[in-house]
């Protein structure tokens, strides 16, 4: 089974692959000023060397352990020695996109809207537990929520300021190669519903079977004698 990779996704408006650098746009003090906007980079538009640098950072342990990709980028460099986050910003590769247009794709068979992830983080910061969040995130409003009673939406703050995410406008002011990002509470992800997990596993199994069939067909095209049931000619002495 493929290992999930955080921070990667796609722009559903045009299908382009992206990495989510900032989940929401904030001001210099870390207050969310555009909750419905994110800052992303499109790896396929980067020069080859920097493309490899950025994806190396995305897949690194620091990035995968962090809730925000910008933190890892701000602590690493591209090949020419420039701060990775600064390089993306100064070269115009950070693009503002509506969170509703971004879908995270941690695996080939599982995806989740960025807007939903941001909402979950807000609810966790507001102190809701896993069951309460699960109830509130359900779209099937005609169905009674599983488990405990539905949480009243009025009990949830309409806005929870996320601490310390620097706005893109202030990135240029960070003269040092590495700028320490203010501490942020890392919140554990909400567990997937068992049914959703099972469906995701089945989809992944189907994809693996499809790939296996393609490899099998390619092998037969390369050497028809390997086709099952066919007798291979004996090598001449």
pLDDT tens profile 38-66: 999 999 999 999 999 999 999 999 999 99
3-state secondary structure of 106: strand
Question: CA–CA separation, 31 vs 61, rounded Å?
Answer: 27
pLDDT at 183: 40
Residue 12: inside a domain: yes
Question: CA–CA separation, 131 vs 120, rounded Å?
Answer: 12
Helix locations, 172-227, DSSP H: 194-222
pLDDT at 19: 97
Residue 130: inside a domain: no
* Domain extent at residue 15: 8-113+162-187
121 Cβ neighbours under 8 A, 6+ residues apart: 23, 67, 162, 187
pLDDT at 114 over 90: yes
Same structural domain for residues 174 and 215?
Answer: no
Total number of residues shown for the chain: 237
Evaluate the CA torsion angle 186, 187, 193, 194 in order and state its sign.
Answer: positive
Domains in the chain: how many in total?
A: 2
Confidence band for 124, pLDDT divided at 50, 70 and 90 = confident
124 sits in which H/E element: helix 114-125
pTM over 0.85: no
pLDDT at 123 over 80: yes
Give the residue, 180 or 58, on which the prediction is more confident.
Answer: 58
């Amino acid at each position: 089974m493929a290992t999930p990779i955080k921070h990667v996704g796609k722009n559903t408006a045009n299908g382009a692959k992206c990495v989510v650098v900032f989940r929401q746009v904030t001001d210099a003090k870390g207050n969310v000023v555009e909750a419905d906007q994110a800052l992303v980079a499109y790896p396929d538009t980067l020069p080859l060397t920097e493309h490899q640098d950025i994806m190396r950072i995305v897949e690194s342990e620091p990035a995968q352990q962090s809730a925000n990709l910008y933190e890892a980028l701000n602590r690493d460099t591209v090949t020419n020695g420039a701060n990775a986050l600064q390089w993306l910003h100064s070269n115009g590769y950070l693009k503002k996109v509506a969170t509703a247009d971004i879908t995270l794709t941690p695996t080939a068979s599982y995806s989740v809207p960025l807007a939903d992830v941001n909402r979950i983080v807000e609810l966790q910061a507001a102190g809701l537990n896993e069951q309460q969040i699960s109830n509130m995130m359900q779209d099937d409003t005609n169905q009674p929520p599983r488990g405990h009673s539905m949480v009243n939406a009025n009990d949830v703050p309409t806005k929870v300021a996320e601490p310390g995410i620097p706005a893109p406008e202030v990135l240029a002011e960070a003269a040092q190669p590495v700028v320490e990002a203010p501490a942020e509470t890392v919140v554990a992800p909400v567990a997937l519903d068992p049914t959703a997990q099972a469906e995701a596993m089945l989809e992944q199994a189907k994809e693996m079977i499809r790939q296996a069939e393609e490899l099998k067909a390619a092998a037969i095209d390369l050497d028809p004698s390997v086709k099952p049931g066919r007798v291979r000619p004996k090598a001449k002495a």
